[in-house]
Amino acid sequence: MSRPLVIIVAITVVAAATAAATVLFVKTDSARPIMSEEQKAVREKFFGTSKELPPIKEGQEMRPRW
């Protein structure tokens, strides 16, 4: 096999492995874990409520004031 063909095959294999790792990471990270009772108690103490926080509305992202 010629050198350019080996380089192309190696780049293709690395790209495929990277894509597969990305898909696996995104799939496992997307599932939200259920909070334990201790975490819920700390959340209620810190935020003052045990309810889930409302989603941020469109255009209301938190930005620094400077």
- Which residue range(s) make up the domain with 39? 3-46
* Predicted model pTM: 0.41
Taking phi first (over 0 means left), then psi (-120 to 50 degrees means alpha), and beta for anything else, what does residue 43 get?
A: alpha
- Kindly state whether residue 21 falls inside one of the protein's structural domains: yes
- Kindly state whether residue 25 falls inside one of the protein's structural domains: yes
- Kindly state whether residue 41 falls inside one of the protein's structural domains: yes
Q: How far apart are CA 62 and CA 23, in angstroms?
A: 29
- Kindly state whether residue 33 falls inside one of the protein's structural domains: yes
Report the domain count for the chain: 1
The larger pLDDT score, comparing residue 28 to residue 6, is at: 6
What is residue 10's predicted lDDT score, i.e. its pLDDT? 96
Q: Taking residues 48-56, report their average pLDDT.
A: 70
Q: Taking residues 29-36, report their average pLDDT.
A: 67
- Kindly state whether residue 51 falls inside one of the protein's structural domains: no
- Kindly state whether residue 11 falls inside one of the protein's structural domains: yes
Q: Taking residues 50-65, report their average pLDDT.
A: 68
- Kindly state whether residue 30 falls inside one of the protein's structural domains: yes
